[in-house]
């Protein structure tokens, strides 16, 4: 008899939890952009068009041949510019072998963090999850994940857990800072304790984990640090003042971290990934609607997880900006103030929490974890 195969529990997406949507609901600008990237904007496809025209004996002087040539050259230059830009911005990718990596994920019991942790757990990687929520030992063994009960907003707790992880799994080389909470309240309704709790979990936790785990990465001469922020860090929003402020702080922190690692003598092979997703279909903002499903679709956490995992395993630095609008949202800041007011009114970012029924005077929604 061969060795017994370990059964891994898997919960498939339950489509019946979502209402049936018409076909055009799934037609978004993100889908169109992806199709274009793999077709008319792809250099190989552009040159295939030129080859096809020549196979039909189309003269070089013909208008369609000239247009195809110019387009293929432009798409090639565009692709080369992208490669050079990424090289200058992020450097050379590092080699990633999951069998030799130790992955630490904060806030990995639910939501986006849980998805990433379970994917790596199923692949027999060394995964440590830091969360305040307890997980049954049997469930942890089934998922192939080691859970540590830890408040990542407490520096001393993180330092102690870091020693345990090194002892149990080895030196951490991949850190995914995902923990986050939200209080849906107006600034006037907030309390000092709620503001402090939000910043401890959403912002200070990143400083605590980086201080604790980065020295091991520097010693190993390799590593990856993932910072999960939010598109709201660029925008701000009514009734989310301290949540958006805590996420905005991460944008500056991550830029400073990149700059410091670029100057460190052994920091070249420590990669950094900044994640600024739009609205995800998690319970954190359940019921909140975007102004346009075509321009600003609500994204599934699995789509964000795939982008993060892809960059981590390629050993690259980079930015995860999904859906498409989150990549260009910073351009809103260069518009005249009057235009910014009109755009905010149209998109409803400052009414979203009220319209979703999450803000009701003094009765506010309790904090929820990612």
Active site residues: 243, 247
Q: Which residue has the tokens 């201080």?
A: 211
DSSP of 92-155: SPPP--GGG-EEEEET-SSHHHHHHHHHHHHTT-EEEEEESS---HHHHHHHT-EEEE--TT-H
Instruction: Return d(Cα 29, Cα 34) in angstroms, integer.
Output: 9
244: left (phi over 0), alpha (psi -120 to 50) or beta: alpha
Q: Which residue has the tokens 């709620």?
A: 194
Spatial CB neighbours of 26, under 8 Å, sequence gap ≥ 6: none
CB atoms within 10 A of CB 110: 17
Instruction: Return d(Cα 162, Cα 171) in angstroms, integer.
Output: 9
The answer to whether 27 touches 294, Cβ cutoff 8 Å, is: yes
| Widest CA span in the chain | 75
CB atoms within 10 A of CB 194: 17
Give the three-state DSSP class for 190: coil
Structure tokens at 234: 């660029």
Buried b (16+ CB within 10 A) or exposed e, 291-306: eebeebbebebebbbb
Q: Which residue has the tokens 């309790």?
A: 366
Q: Where are the beta strands (DSSP E) in the chain?
A: 102-106, 126-131, 146-149, 174-177, 181-184, 223-228, 270-275, 318-320, 359-360, 363-369
Instruction: Return d(Cα 308, Cα 268) in angstroms, integer.
Output: 20
């Amino acid at each position: 008899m061969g060795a017994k195969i370990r059964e891994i529990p898997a919960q498939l997406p339950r489509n019946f939890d979502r209402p049936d949507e018409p076909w055009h609901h799934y037609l978004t600008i993100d889908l169109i952009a992806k199709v274009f990237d793999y077709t008319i904007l792809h250099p190989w496809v552009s040159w295939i068009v030129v080859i096809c025209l020549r196979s039909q004996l189309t003269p070089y002087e013909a208008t369609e041949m000239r247009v195809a040539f110019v387009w293929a050259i432009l798409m090639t230059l565009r692709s080369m510019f992208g490669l050079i830009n990424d090289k200058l911005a992020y450097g050379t990718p590092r080699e990633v072998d999951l069998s030799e990596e130790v992955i630490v994920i904060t806030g990995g019991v639910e939501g986006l963090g849980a998805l990433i942790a379970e994917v790596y757990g199923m692949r027999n990687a060394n995964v440590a999850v830091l969360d305040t929520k307890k997980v049954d030992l049997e469930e942890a063994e089934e998922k192939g994940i080691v859970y540590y009960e830890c408040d990542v907003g407490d520096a001393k707790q993180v330092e102690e857990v870091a020693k345990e992880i090194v002892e149990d799994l080895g030196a951490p080389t991949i850190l995914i800072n995902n923990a986050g909470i939200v209080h849906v309240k107006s600034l006037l309704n907030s309390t000092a304790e709620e503001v402090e709790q939000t910043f401890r979990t959403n912002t200070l936790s990143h400083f605590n984990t980086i201080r604790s785990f980065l020295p091991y990465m520097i010693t190993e001469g390799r590593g990856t640090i993932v910072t999960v922020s939010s598109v709201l860090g660029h925008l701000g929003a009514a009734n989310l003042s301290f949540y958006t402020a805590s996420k905005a702080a991460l944008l500056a922190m991550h830029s400073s971290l990149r700059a410091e690692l670029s100057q460190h003598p052994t920091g070249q092979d420590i990669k950094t990934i900044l994640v600024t997703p739009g609205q995800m279909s998690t319970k954190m903002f359940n019921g909140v609607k975007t102004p346009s499903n075509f321009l600003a679709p609500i994204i599934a956490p699995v789509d964000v997880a795939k982008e993060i995992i892809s960059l981590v395993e390629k050993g690259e630095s980079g930015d995860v900006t999904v859906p498409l609008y989150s990549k260009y949202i910073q351009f809103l800041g260069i518009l005249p103030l009057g235009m910014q007011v009109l755009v905010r009114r149209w998109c409803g970012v400052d009414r979203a929490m009220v319209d979703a029924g999450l803000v009701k005077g003094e009765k506010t929604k309790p904090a929820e974890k990612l």
